[in-house]
Amino acid sequence: MTVPESLRRIRKAHKLTQQDIANVLGVDRTTYTLYETGSTNPPIETLEKLSNMYNATIGYILGTEENNHPERLGKADMVAEDNVDPIAYLSKDERRLLLSYRVLSEQKKEQLRQQIAEALKEE
């Protein structure tokens, strides 16, 4: 599988648009489109963000690995025993938030977790 095919396949499996991914990556949609058309290859920093975002190895994203590593399961692998994918019930905004969270540094993730804990206490 080629890089463009793999990027398109994994994005569609997550039911996201090119604009959704571009927003999370902090690039213009046309830049992301170039990756999916094969006109240019994403830089390693972008591949690392995609890897974190999809919770997948870079090789899996690039289509060079047949299966993802078991310790890094992607959405397609996270199906409950009753074959109901809990992620499928998230709204588009909720999915975008989760994907955005995955590309944050550990320090920013911790800050966000603390903010969420405080907000929940206020409820």
Q: Is 15 helix (H, G, I), strand (E, B) or coil?
A: coil
Q: How many degrees, rounded to 5, is the angle at CA 89 between CA 51 and CA 63?
A: 25
The CATH number that applies at residue 78 is 1.10.260.40
Give the residue numbers spanning the domain of 40.
3-122
Asked if residues 88 and 32 have their Cβ atoms less than 8 Å apart, the reply is no
Read off the tokens for 43: 């830089």
What whole-number distance in Å separates Cα of residue 102 and Cα of residue 21? Answer: 12
Burial class (CB in 10 A: 0-12, 13-18, 19+), 102: middle
In this predicted structure, what is the pLDDT of residue 97?
83
Q: What is the pLDDT of residue 101?
A: 85
Nearest to 65 by CA among 78, 79, 54: 54
Q: How many domains does the chain have?
A: 1
Question: Both tokens of residue 1?
Answer: 């599988």
Candidates 92, 111, 115; CA nearest to 23 is 92
CA 39 – CA 44 distance, rounded (Å): 16
pLDDT attached to residue 89: 62
Model confidence over 18-59: pLDDT tens digits? 999 999 899 999 999 999 999 998 998 899 889 888 888 888
Each residue's pLDDT tens digit, 82-102 = 444 555 566 777 877 888 888
**Tens digit of pLDDT for each residue in 68-78?**
543 344 444 44
Question: What's the pLDDT at 80?
Answer: 40
State the pLDDT at residue 21: 92
Return the pLDDT at 77: 44
- What is the spatial distance between Cα 64 and Cα 44, in angstroms, rounded to a whole number? 15
